[in-house]
Structure 1
């Protein structure tokens, strides 16, 4: 089933889209800025096509992107503490469920900045 942002419910992309709308106040959907965002592994490229800043420097409110695996993974950056970040996500260590974890910022392939 699709969510209000046109992602599959219970997936990391759906959770990230909700966080972007809810926490950042950005009207984000799967066609944000006229670009198809698709699977998590496509989000960094989609953000670049949309003219957004994408780099390796995390800030609270960013979306962390991992490109590995069939679909990749995205998570919301809730806290930055030096080289470690706290991310909130769906469908990582528990299927279709919320988790919060601390990871090394260098383990992330890219950070998408909405501001």
Structure 2
């Protein structure tokens, strides 16, 4: 599940922290499964622009399972996996 990606990544030798960078994967641990997102850009005000699947809130069609893009998202509580 997505809510363990940061733990598994760290155990596999990847850098994992709370500092967003473009090209990193954001991990949230809420809910039963968590969620992962791709960081497209870090903005000057500390928010991020991200892309994701399976979030009906941001999806193009408004349906789960579709691609979405969000801008100016707070990173509070997120983990970031760096490649």
Normalised-by-shorter TM-score class:
0.7 to 0.9
Give matches, 1:1-115, under 5 Å.
39-82=1-44, 83-92=46-55, 93=57, 94-102=63-71, 103-106=73-76, 108-114=77-83
- Cα distance in 2, alignment partners of residues 68 and 109 from structure 1: 10
CA RMSD of aligned residues (A): 1.0
**Over 4 Å off, 4+ runs:** none
- Give the number of aligned pairs: 75
Q: Which runs of 5+ in 2 are unaligned?
A: 58-62
TM-score for both structures, normalised by structure 1: 0.62
Structure ranking higher on relative contact order (CA contacts 8 Å, 6+ apart):
2
Structure showing the higher strand proportion among its residues: 2
Structure showing the higher helix proportion among its residues: 1
